Structure 1
Amino acid sequence: MGPWIVTRDEIPDVKALTGRAKINGQVFVEADFSDALHSFPDMITFVSRDETLYAGEVFGSDTVGNGCGLERFEFFADGDVFELEIDALGVLRNKVVRQDG
């Protein structure tokens, strides 16, 4: 999860948010969420058909289009720094560290 958790009332229109992903400071995708395939209400409806949902559970969504390394046939290397920034929310930054063994 990211550096901030927000409640529904803090983001009036999720589809109006813009996000960008960077590897080592280079933006490789920037997009808004207006073309998301599924809305959060749709996801909650789908999951609740087979699962009991409890107050406080967290729902996450996928990346923006072309934001997945598999889609781009591009993969992280030891030492890469990955950043995911979403307007009004902030930046999630992680460094890739190879673990032998």
Structure 2
Amino acid sequence: MKRRSLAGNCAIGVFVITLVCVFVAFCAPAWLVSDYHITGAKLNKLGLWSHCFRSLADPSDVYQRRFFVGCRWVYDPFTTGYDEIRGFLLPRKCVVTMIFNIAKVT
């Protein structure tokens, strides 16, 4: 049996670390959680599949008369306004992460 080189050992180490990070990221219910002691926070939880807001102003509303409150699934078709701010909530790198996670599971 041939011995593995230093580059091969490093590659296996990086692969294992990456696999653990992807597993934790996919299984975690929230990636960012706001401290409940902060009174002016607009974000409550931010995850891969859902967002929870305390009082997020619509970024396209110049007069800030429209706010998003509560927890919603990102692709909820019944919540008005989410389709307009989906680009703000989900940058392209988040969508790519979701696609790779779905492809990994199936």
Larger strand proportion of the pair: 1
Larger Rg: 2
Same fold (TM over 0.5): no
Which structure ranks higher in relative contact order (CA pairs < 8 Å, sequence separation ≥ 6)? 1
TM-score range, shorter chain: under 0.3
Normalized per residue, the structure richer in helix is 2
